[in-house]
């Protein structure tokens, strides 16, 4: 039960910055690196790593950890170390010249998944195989989530897309256009079908 709760906690921390973007859009998006470049001339982190995102991850760790029955200090530190891992991943990606906002399987998840265990192991005596399984499931889940967010919610669906690019609006459009092969689906989901075919095509 504890490993499952830890996995939920890690997911909550990871997806908190995404939910903050979804609901708050462009509010309070001061970059963590304050727009500075590193000695190699590239951004230290990039403008997509924001103070809001880091704080939302720490806040999510604290609250979710408490709700799951973990010590509140542990939840806070899990959120903190997870965000440190995320920042380190972005720093490394900038140094090896990956574009800002790029999704790199493994590198994007490994530090964010491992660093929280520097704290967790002081509270719970987990087996090595349990830690490996948690990190593996976490990595797969967060990779799928990040690809969906980047390729669906933050990407124009077609050329000359005229609406403001908003994750909330894109999710509504995506859901409206996910009509299954069931021949009755277009009737059952009539409103979605109209939205997709008139407003999206």
The yes-or-no verdict on residue 196 having pLDDT over 80 is: no
**pTM of the predicted model as reported, rounded to 2 decimal places:** 0.77
Mean pLDDT value of segment 184-199: 49
Residue 14 phi/psi, 5° resolution? -65, -45
Query: Tell me: the pLDDT tens digits for 135-183?
Result: 999 999 988 887 776 665 555 555 665 555 555 555 555 556 655 444 4
Mean pLDDT value of segment 116-131: 95
Quickly count: other Cβ atoms within 10 Å of residue 151's Cβ. Answer: 10
Q: Are 159 and 28 in contact (CB under 8 A)?
A: no
- Domain positions in the chain: 2-153, 167-199
Query: Tell me: the pLDDT tens digits for 81-101?
Result: 999 999 999 999 999 988 887
Average pLDDT along the chain: 82
Of residues 8, 23, 12, 90, the one with CA closest to residue 57: 12
The yes-or-no verdict on residue 193 having pLDDT over 60 is: no
* Residue ranges in the chain assigned as alpha helix (H): 2-24, 51-67, 72-95, 107-114, 117-123, 128-148, 167-177, 185-188, 190-194
pLDDT of 186 reads 46
As a whole number of angstroms, the distance between CA 88 and CA 107 comes to 10
Q: Are 150 and 101 in contact (CB under 8 A)?
A: yes
Cα separations in angstroms, 111 against 4, 30, 35, 83: 19, 23, 23, 9
Cβ neighbors of 8 (< 8 A, separation 6 or more) are 64, 68
């Amino acid at each position: 039960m504890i490993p499952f709760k830890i996995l939920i906690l890690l997911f909550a921390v990871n997806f908190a910055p995404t939910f903050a973007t979804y609901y708050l859009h462009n509010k309070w998006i001061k970059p963590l690196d304050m727009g500075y470049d590193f000695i190699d001339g590239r951004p230290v982190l990039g403008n997509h790593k924001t103070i809001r995102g880091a704080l939302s991850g720490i806040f999510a760790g604290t609250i979710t950890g408490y709700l799951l029955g973990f010590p509140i200090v542990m939840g806070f530190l899990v959120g903190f170390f997870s965000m440190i891992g995320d920042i380190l991943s972005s720093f490394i990606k900038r140094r090896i010249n990956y574009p800002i906002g790029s999704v790199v399987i493994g590198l994007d998840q490994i530090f964010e998944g491992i660093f929280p265990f520097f704290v967790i192991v002081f509270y719970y005596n987990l087996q090595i195989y349990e830690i490996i399984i948690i990190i593996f499931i976490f990595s797969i889940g967060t990779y799928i989530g990040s690809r969906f967010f980047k390729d669906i919610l933050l990407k124009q669906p077609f050329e000359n897309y005229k609406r403001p690019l908003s994750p909330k609006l894109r999710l509504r459009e995506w859901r409206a256009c996910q009509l299954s092969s069931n021949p009755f689906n277009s009737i059952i989901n009539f409103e979605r079908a109209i939205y997709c075919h008139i407003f999206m095509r």
